[in-house]
Chain A
């Protein structure tokens, strides 16, 4: 079968310069599901992620959002269906930073694992920390940083993997509204650059609509990517405007109602 097919969504930004061939997808899931010990952790999911897009997946607690990300991160294998993904960088829920280490050493972790020498890795980490708004804080131990600053360190670490697909697991769930707003701006500034794609799971409809190029709903019955609709599938959630705009500009209350209706299915 063909992986590079008609699945690229109409909204896919920054396609190749020629504009003829759609970019090769970074991840393709075909009826991929995960079960463990007789329990369904993730109902079958169809999903294609292409370079440059930011996909927000909205789902209720227990719908399998985290399992979906772990599947794409290669941490669990599908028990049904098929999953292929280029190496993806996971930013887990609750940051996963090492509290005893400095911001710089935490951010440098992917470089160190890749074999970069310590001093070079630290220098690169400092540059990346400055790019996420933490200039001058590289030497501070992570357990002395605020929640928002910790998320910035975790984002810097995720970006420093150099991977083309970033998997963000409810990255802004634990910070206050003002900080979340700042972090949204930061994420938007880094989204799409160099063909980077992001897959973000959240239970916050406003957050999903603000950050994403497209929004999908993960329900108890799994997920059907509207880019490759199956017979009888739910209608796609259509977003107006562009990422960075708020819900009111991207479809308003009818959009919210459509997403909530999907969530309730």
Chain B
């Protein structure tokens, strides 16, 4: 690729590429603040960003506990979904008959709306972490499985010939050629799964427990619970504060996966031999 002077991409000016998302958020927040102030909106309808910030500070112990809960559910659910999804993707890649058998089930599991499924799972699995984990795994598993299956099929036909000629076993094919080549594709699936998992965790959380109040010292819900409780109590600023934390959690996970991807890329490209010209 030719990089023209003055149009350098991320590598040329890292601060500029980092600034772009912050600028977007800044403009949005400023617009939001201006809208609320100029139209004199009731904070119950739409609290201003400054009021959301105040709620973040005021309810910090509640919000942190809820964030911890949600992060735990999302993290554990994602890990489970990752393991199951990759295994399922490999199985579907290996056995086309299994693929045909599983595909309707996989797609079907995505068609069931989470708000309907969540209370049912509570009935089946009881209150607590289990139904919440089940929902996160259910929604996050699908993108990982499909991405794994498709990425594994991306091996070049000529490489396939070489492996067959060498007499490579199924395990060797997977370990030496298919999985390393599929990693970027699988990671794309995982990044999608992160977004799904956060949404799933919020829904599961909001339906998973009987209503508790912020003052209740036994409160053990997540951010979804906080939102679900705050809205009927007309504490819109607290609901927004919880949503801000949810957005931050998603972004943190999404960006750290991008970091993993770049690291893998750098590792496989290697730093040796770069100094040697062709």
Contact = CB atoms under 8 A, between A and B. Distances in A.
Contact of B180 (A98, A114, A137, A140): A98
A92 B272 contact: no
A96 B166 CA distance: 13
Contacts of B163: 109, 113
Interface residues of B, number: 27
A254 interface: no
Interface string A110-149: 1011100000000000000000000011111100101001
A93 interface: yes
Contact of A100 (B268, B271, B278): B268
A138 B272 contact: yes
Contact of A113 (B156, B176, B181): B176
B116 to A, nearest CB: 42
Contacts of A141: 268-270
B158 A75 contact: no
Q: How many of chain A's residues touch chain B, expressed as a range?
A: 20 to 34
B7 interface: no
Contacts of A99: 156
Contacts of A138: 272-273
A94 B272 CA distance: 25
A75 B161 contact: yes
Contact of A74 (B165, B168, B268): B165
Interface in A77-109: 88-90, 92-102, 109
B172 to A, nearest CB: 5
A210 interface: no
Contacts of A161: 166
Nearest to A87: B167
B166 A110 contact: yes
A137 B276 contact: yes
B274 interface: yes
A132 to B, nearest CB: 14
Given A98-B180, A102-B270, A136-B276, A109 B156 contact: no
Interface of B: 156, 158-168, 172, 176-177, 180-181, 184, 268-274, 276, 278
Given A90-B162, A113-B163, A113-B176, 14 more contacts: A75-B164, A89-B165, A94-B156, A96-B160, A98-B177, A100-B181, A101-B268, A102-B270, A113-B167, A138-B272, A140-B269, A140-B272, A149-B278, A157-B162
